[in-house]
Structure 1
């Protein structure tokens, strides 16, 4: 079985956040969703669990940070073509996101813009030109 990753994010309005993540390209998995949480799958192996604040508190004793005031992480998701960066960003912005909280990055073979979800979590939408990646492009060295 392939490893999976689930990013868990606290949200204030589950419905608004669900619409935002659908616009970002995620699909809601009803088997792991209820009135407290929604499992939003970006791929078969990458999911975003959006959890109401009350439910999120079941998993941590730490205070929930205000993502609009602080930055703990930047999340990034790739798209298949350069023009799709703008399309995804516009769709996510129309569903409650805030476009370009950080400046766009254009490095020729890589282009990205960012969008903030309704709770302030920042997602970078980016495209990389596969022809610019030397050797096997299925892995990236960190």
Structure 2
């Protein structure tokens, strides 16, 4: 199995740890130091959240500010619309923002979440093959707010 490491620039490592642990991720202390934090999404997916200054040592290219420019978005397929909504609610409660309304195409339900630094995460649910058409498309679903979180 291939492990995936996604490196993203951040400005505050403690805030980053708090945000991603609120989403249910673990922190790998063996791969974390004052320059970055290893966020364990699952057994094969890791986010290397690296301070902007240290991140810049890996490239001659300018490091974009994710609050104003989108360089990349990591998306995760979940098992239900409810899991998508729950992930967004946890992220909003932990200081994230939802940059646009939910997208509901009938066969796919998708919501985006920006972490406190503006790095973009997507959460989606794909209706299983054969069940497509069971859910009618909607232009935009209601957006959860931090006050909607009950857990």
Does the 8 Å contact 1:23/1:88 carry over to 2? Answer: no
Which whole-Å deviations, capped at 9, do the CAs of 1:39-62 have from their partners, x for residues lacking one? 111111111100111221221122
Partners in 2 of 1:44 and 1:129 — Cα distance?
25
Match of 2:109 in 1: 111
Match of 2:46 in 1: 47
Match of 1:18 in 2: 17
Partners in 2 of 1:30 and 1:81 — Cα distance?
31
Which whole-Å deviations, capped at 9, do the CAs of 1:24-71 have from their partners, x for residues lacking one? 332111111122211111111111100111221221122211111112
Residue 131 (structure 1) shift: 4.2
Give the secondary structure class of the aligned counterpart of 1:88. helix
Give the secondary structure class of the aligned counterpart of 2:30. helix
Residue 133 (structure 1) shift: 8.1
Which whole-Å deviations, capped at 9, do the CAs of 1:85-115 have from their partners, x for residues lacking one? 111111111111012x023111223211111
Partners in 2 of 1:98 and 1:130 — Cα distance?
29
Which TM-score applies when normalising by structure 1? 0.84
Partners in 2 of 1:25 and 1:78 — Cα distance?
15
Match of 1:65 in 2: 64
Unmatched 5+ stretches in structure 1: 135-142
**What is the alpha-carbon root mean square deviation over aligned residues?**
1.8
Does the 8 Å contact 1:16/1:95 carry over to 2? Answer: no
Residue from 109, 117, 122 that aligns with 1:124? 122
Partners in 1 of 2:82 and 2:61 — Cα distance?
40
Between the two proteins, the alignment pairs up a number of residues equal to 132
Which TM-score applies when normalising by structure 2? 0.79
Unmatched 5+ stretches in structure 2: 133-151
